[in-house]
Amino acid sequence: MTPFLAQLRSAVKPRSRIQKLTLYGLTIYLLSCAVLGGLIPYIAKQQAPEILAEQLGRDVSLQDISINPFTLELTVSGLVINEANSQQTFASLATLYGNIQLWQSITSWTLVIEDIRLAQPTIRVSLTQTDDQQVVFNFSDIIKRLGKDTQSTPANTAPTSLPAINIGKIELLQGVFTLDDNVTDTHINYPNINLSLTQFSSLSTALEDKQDQVNRYNLSIEDQFNGSVALQGQFQLSPLAIQGDLDAAGVDLSRYWTFVDQLFAINLSEGMLSVNGQYTVTLQDKNLAPISHINVTKAQIVINRFKALHQQDEKIAIDVLALKNINVDSQKKLVSIDEFHTENGKIKLNITPKGADLVALLLPQNTQLLDDAASSQTDTNDTTDTTEVANVSNITDASIEAESDITTEQVTQTPDAIVTQAPQTNAGSPRPSQTEMTSQNVDPNTADKVDSPWLVNLHKITVAQYQVDLGEGIASDNIILWQLGPIDVSTGLVKSDLSTPIDYQFSTGINAQSLLTSTGQVDALAQTINADIDFSNMLLSRLQPYIAPYINITVEDGVFSTKGNLHADAKDTLTYTGSANINQLHINDNVLNKPLLTWETMDINQLSFDRQQAIIDIDEINFDKLFSRIIISPDRGTNISQLIHTKKATTDPVEIKQAVDSVDPSKLIVDQRKADASTLNSSAGSEPPMTDSPQMQFNINKIGIKDSSAFFADNSLTPNFASGIEMLNGQISHLSSKPQTTASVDLVGKIDRYAPVTLKGEINPLLDQPYLDLNLNFDNVELTSVNPYSSTYAGYYIDKGQLSLDLNYQLKNTALVGSNHVVIDQLKLGKPSNSSLATSLPVTLAVALLQDRHGVIDLGVDVSGDLDSPNFSFGSIIVNALGNIITKAVTSPFSFLAGLVDGDEEMDKISFDYGLSSLSLKQKNTLDKLAKALIDRPLLNLNIKGSIDLINDKQALAEIKLHKQLAITAGIKFNALPKSLSASQFPATGPSADALYQLVEQELSQPPLAIKQSLQQETPELTEVELVTRWHIGLYNMLKNHQQITTDEFGQLAQQRASAVKAYLIDQAGIDAGKVFVLESRINTVEDAAEALLELQVN
């Protein structure tokens, strides 16, 4: 025993019992205070960092631990946990303070703590990506280490009751949370996090008992960008329930966009988020079962100043996006939103054959990042504590797959699927909601097991003052800008199950000039729309970029408007009833730089269109001051044809090969399989696909034309021709494509202001077999007005004359019959025009042939044709019928003359035997008839020119020349030669045979007997008679072919033939010698045939 204890014992021993107990108690108390206030903090300060470092695998430092033994106040300061393999701080705590109320705890059998305070706690969380593309956290090693230490600890799944704990106040002050996402290069700091819990009681049922001051919490978080989130309310632990108010303000979404910016091509540059509302969360029971009820009331979500950019181009800018008064009830699976409101938005997008660029920008691009994150999360979960795995061991793979299937089915469910599952209802009866449909289709015995879908009721959508800059590049090769705005849209109730139709109002301006408004109802489930549409002041000049690539015109002006009702659905129903008009139309011809088509008004007072029935009904179309221009250009094309742009198809083999090589065969296979699947799905319906669409039917009650005109010019003529129909008025009534109907035509106008023109009758061009019965009349049109045509094509100006036309056409069953009466009075041709396009036909000859002694040309022209003929046209049959008469006169005047004398043979050619110039009896008869016709046409003269047949006439002349040589050599007269003398009928002996031998030896320098011997050696089988015959044939042909016929001899023969014809006409037929002329035939002799060519000429 130490002296100190001995002295203490001796000092205490004589004391009273009370003094002893007091002294002992004081000693124990002082010793306890010394241990609690000195020894324990000292040991804890030394051992706690080592224990924590061992558990966490990190360097841990602790500045101080102090305990007030008198007030039982615990203070821990300067706790720091470093990063793995680094001296950088992972987590820290400036001060941890706690104050235990010992005597209250003892007396109430409850742990009572007056105050717990954590001052300036910090934690830094970072994400990095490993070489194998795995994403890891900077605390993943801690989770893995703690998981190894708890693997041997059995899981205790038995329910336990909560201990009784009362804490006056729990505070977390000036907390700091830092997130360094090195994967997305995002760094977020929350420098001011504060949490307070007041009057905490672990066993309190404050919410059930409505104890307002118990278990109150208040959490506020501020980020480095001045955004804040505040939660305040009340909670209880048994059963767990939380209720409170949420207020998030000034959250800059653009600062958090970096988390996902690698997934999108678009960049969020601005966006301030505000969220507020009330919430309640409760559990099913006291055993921490899954959450049974979430209730959100009076919530609002607002995003202000939302802006998204792509390559520094502002694509989306919206002042306000708001969901107002959001109420969520998880038990009822009901979400109710009073209004989705957005205003002052501006959107830019381009639409091309590849799609809308904005849609592509808003869709995730780099989905590999999502896959890597999911894989990393899986790997992290594999390393967690097995105790945690045991706690969820009831979640099997099958249940996970089942939940995945349910989720997928819910996500991919389309309105078509809903329609398939929905019960049939009458068209006029209200449709059941999605909840009602589910309850009707579910067995009552299993109804409690069915997970009914959520229902979202959005009571109103409001879009105000939006503007869309739409770049359209589908119908045009270039991007064409359309400015839509201000756009205002409002709707009624919208349900997520689409069980009720949606009422809407829509209006927008187009390019600051047009206005489109629409009100109606959309049924998304039935896929129908019923809308009233008012589209006014659409400037047709805005369509110029779409027209320019195809037609070289400029739509200078024109305003389109329509108003009516539209009804459509997904089953090919499309109807429109209303009115339409186009005013102030002005279309310019860019080639001529002149108006092509104009009118002041075109009004359709009532229009009805039904696509399913294929009917268009129009009451009246009225044109006021309609004008059109038709020009024939110098190359004889029309101004219309010159306006059409033609695009050449690619025929370059290299380009075609490159196009083929660029096609991915595997993609074609996939696309084909998708197409096949789509075909199978579509064919699975109850209705067979439509094969043939009905032919469109038209009904137009009236087409009115008022104060209209047309201009026609022909610039292919010299001088140019121009005329116009003016003061055109009238109407076309009852035009219809219905069988057995005809439209009446009644139009009147004037040519050049004074010559009346009328068009009356009945037509129907809309029938399968068009019908026509029209009368067209022109009276006393001065022919001097068509001088450009006469001078250009006829080659003469017209000094005088008038034209009257009475035209009638009838068309039935594709057969056209027409009767045209043409009268030309007092036609007098003027001087020649020397036009390069003038006809080569003798026009004066035609006039001389057709004009009677009174100066009148009267032609009745009957025409006919078949519309089924591929070459049919109205113009062609008229021109052909009228032209045949004139053409026959001017191009075949001899045939025309033959008709006058009832002759049918050719009278323009007189044939001769080869080599001769004497006339046969037949040719003399022809000349007699020609002479008779010429006597009846005293203004006609006759020219004659002889011709030869080069081959046949040469053979005949050579033979005649040989016969003359034979006669001279034989010493006999030419007429004494046998008439049938030829190569095959040559005498075997006699003077002719001797002359033949002599000529061969003289002219050919060949011995005749040598030729005979050679022939005998080649054909020894011949008899002597046959041998001589062949020998003479060979000698005769050799001499004939040796004869030379000169050009002069040919010319002399041709001249003799022409002279023979003239001599007969004058001497025998009685024609005046001054009317018949022989043309020079010896120079440039015609070598076509053995004949004399006749030609008529006007005197």
- The residue ranking higher by pLDDT, 940 or 322, is 322
1003: pLDDT strictly greater than 50: yes
What does the pLDDT read at residue 644? 85
- CA 640/CA 643 separation, integer angstroms: 5
What percent of the chain has pLDDT above 90? 29
**Spatial contact of 349 and 471, defined as CB atoms under 8 Å apart:** yes
What strand order describes the sheet that includes 1091-1098?
A: 909-911, 1091-1098, 940-946, 1076-1078
Judged by DSSP in three states, 415 sits in helix
- CA 784/CA 52 separation, integer angstroms: 120
For the segment 360-383, what is each residue's pLDDT rounded down to a tens digit? Answer: 888 887 655 555 555 544 444 444
**Spatial contact of 321 and 302, defined as CB atoms under 8 Å apart:** yes
- The residue ranking higher by pLDDT, 748 or 149, is 748
The pTM for the full model equals 0.66
Sole residue written with tokens 């049939």: 424
β-bridge mates for residue 75, sequence order: 66, 97
Sole residue written with tokens 């019992």: 17
Max mean pLDDT among 361-375, 526-540, 729-743, 788-802 falls in: 526-540
β-bridge mates for residue 192, sequence order: 222
951-956-962 Cα angle (round to 5) = 125
For the segment 806-842, what is each residue's pLDDT rounded down to a tens digit? Answer: 777 777 666 777 777 777 787 788 888 887 777 776 7
What does the pLDDT read at residue 436? 47
**Spatial contact of 949 and 914, defined as CB atoms under 8 Å apart:** yes
Question: Where in the sequence of the chain do the CATH 3.30.1330.60 domains occur?
Answer: 892-1099
For the segment 485-528, what is each residue's pLDDT rounded down to a tens digit? Answer: 899 999 999 999 999 999 999 999 999 899 999 999 999 999 99
Closest CA to 604 of 623, 587, 627, 586: 623
Judged by DSSP in three states, 901 sits in coil
What Å distances lie between residue 179 and 126, 184, 186, 188, CA to CA?
6, 11, 8, 5
Sole residue written with tokens 């205070």: 33
- Type of residue at 692: D
- CA 248/CA 532 separation, integer angstroms: 42
What Å distances lie between residue 39 and 33, 68, 77, 339, 460, CA to CA?
9, 12, 17, 66, 70
| DSSP per-residue string spanning 226-250 | S-EEEEEEEEEETTEEEEEEEEEEE
- CA 384/CA 147 separation, integer angstroms: 5
Give the pairing type, strands 940-946 and 1076-1078: parallel
74: pLDDT strictly greater than 50: yes
Judged by DSSP in three states, 525 sits in coil
What does the pLDDT read at residue 1045? 82
- CA 1040/CA 964 separation, integer angstroms: 12
| DSSP per-residue string spanning 1016-1075 | HHH-TT--HHHHHHHHHHHHHHHHHHH----HHHHHHHHHHHHHHHHHHHHHTS---GGG
Max mean pLDDT among 392-401, 866-875, 989-998 falls in: 989-998
Specify the CATH architecture of the domain 892-1099.
2-Layer Sandwich (3.30)
**Spatial contact of 164 and 111, defined as CB atoms under 8 Å apart:** yes
> How far from each other are the two terminal CA atoms of the chain, in whole angstroms?
177
Would you place residue 428 in the very low, low, confident or very high pLDDT band (cuts 50, 70, 90)? very low
What does the pLDDT read at residue 463? 97
Cβ atoms within 10 Å, residue 182: 13
402: pLDDT strictly greater than 60: no
